[in-house]
Amino acid sequence: MIRSRTNEIYFPIFLLFTICFLEGANAAFTNSRISRTVDALNYCSSSTRPLGNTALNSHNLTQALVQKCNSPADAMVLLTQAKELREQASMLQEQLQIEKEARIQKQQAKVDGLIDSLLFHGIKSNGQDNDETSELLQTEEQVAQLLISKRLDYDTVNQMFDRIVELSNRPQSIDSCSPLLSLLLDAACKVDCIEREDNPNRRWSGRVERDLRKKLFALGYGIRIEDVEREKRAARSINGERDLY
């Protein structure tokens, strides 16, 4: 699965590199006296194509490929191939983006369903005409029991946490958080307090409530814990240090 996703990421990069290579070959003809291809080749020779952190300069490619093309026909073939590859790369990138959005939507729907089944247990009518209704929340004990019986782990509860924050449409903090977040954290605390050997849910780390409280505290100051940890790991990688967790 990791190799497949890696190929999906790097294949369009390979196509773009090939495009730059072929356009560089076209740029080699800017120094010749072929009037029919001057405009196209000038465009190629004046362009610099970025690829990640590396810039491919077509002028440098011109010097390397100047001996490989000997006719206007060769130039036009390469120009056509470059155009086709560019279109293929663009189509592939669009397809990958569509598939990525579909996976995100599928995962969000799964998490939404889990939130509904874990935190809510019914609908109550607020008026005689039944036009106004409200959803009834589970108790802390009920949610804690569901966390155990459904064998949820930190990653799943963390996804629920992030989704509730996203749907709340307002800043969250320790002092002012969504009732759903408060219920989820209190229930997680109850499960954390169970001795590990007495907890039927072996996937439970025992530190879920603590880690999510820390995350909620950071959100109150506009800080995302994931971004901080990512920067730390990047710094350790640059310095050659091993990750401790």
pLDDT tens track for 23-37: 555 544 444 444 444
Spans of all domains in the chain:
2-94, 137-239
Task: Give residue 229's pLDDT.
Answer: 86
**HEC letters along the chain:** CHHHHHHHHHHHHHHHHHHHHHHHHHHHHHHCCCHHHHHHHHHHHHCEEEECCEEEEHHHHHHHHCCCCCCHHHHHHHHHHHHHHHHHHHHHHHHHHHHHHHHHHHHHHHHHHHHHHHHEEEEEECCCCCCCEEEEECCHHHHHHHHHHCCCCHHHHHHHHHHHHHHHCCCCCCCCCCHHHHHHHHHHHHHHCCCHHHCCCCCCCCCHHHHHHHHHHHHCCCCCHHHHHHHHHHHHHHHCCCCCC
Query: Is this model's pTM higher than 0.75 or not?
Result: no
Q: What is the pLDDT of residues 87-139, one digit of tens each?
A: 999 999 999 999 999 999 999 999 999 999 999 987 666 655 555 667 789 99
